[in-house]
Structure 1
């Protein structure tokens, strides 16, 4: 989403020096402002980070479950109990989506 406002701003800068391009400069500037305000209002950056963190967290849990297969039998249950607690913690974060109605703490 950052590329579009940058391109529109660069176009506006170059086109401002050209004769007869004032309408296009205004349109490109308005488009850049709209893109920036839309990104800020919807919080795409925060949501992207949230989804990456959640995906990474679940991948770590899956990796740990694979690791549990090679543990000695006397340590498997303790490891899986700990991993179960981590899974529940990850599940508890599901409602914390940034800039959404469900992220209020109750």
Structure 2
């Protein structure tokens, strides 16, 4: 292997690292958004349920409104499945981050093993990308769960 092969392998590793970091970025944001909806919605539903429970009889109309709000929030949170989406984003981000760690490992491998290690990383990236369409709570996630990539 000559210097050209080594610089090509190094460039491929740098390109792959950049691709992986870019692919993980939306999952960091998605995890924050879905966490806020899941945890915030759960907190609001609990607050509305508590209000409906503790309001005095003289405020029964407000208690019914609070119970209705709680019911709506619970139904909405279950239908949109923010909890599963949050965990899915965390999982996908961890998978991409794991591949970044493996790309960093390529530099310490013997030169004759680096190209094969990068090929394996690209194969693993392909498998992870196929899971992008399986986001929980979406129609594509339901269709993707039973069909091959």
TM-score using structure 2 length: 0.64
* Cα deviations by residue, 1:37-77 (Å, 9 ceiling, x for unpaired): 00111111221121111111111111111121122212212
Distance 2:78 2:47 in 1: 18
Partner of 1:13: 53
Distance 2:57 2:88 in 1: 46
Partner of 2:116: 78
Partner of 2:11: none
Runs of at least 4 residues off by over 4 Å:
none
Q: Note the 1:29-68 alignment, pairs <5 A.
A: 29-68=67-106
SS in 2 for 1:63: helix
Q: Post-superposition shift, 1:96?
A: 1.1
Q: Looking at secondary structure, tell me which structure has more helix per residue.
A: 2
> Are the aligned partners of 2:133 and 2:140 in contact in 1 as well (CA < 8 Å)?
yes
Distance 1:19 1:11 in 2: 12
Unmatched segments (≥5 aa) in structure 2: 1-40
> Are the aligned partners of 2:82 and 2:137 in contact in 1 as well (CA < 8 Å)?
no
Unmatched segments (≥5 aa) in structure 1: none
39-48 or 24-33, larger mean C-alpha shift: 39-48
Q: Post-superposition shift, 1:78?
A: 2.1
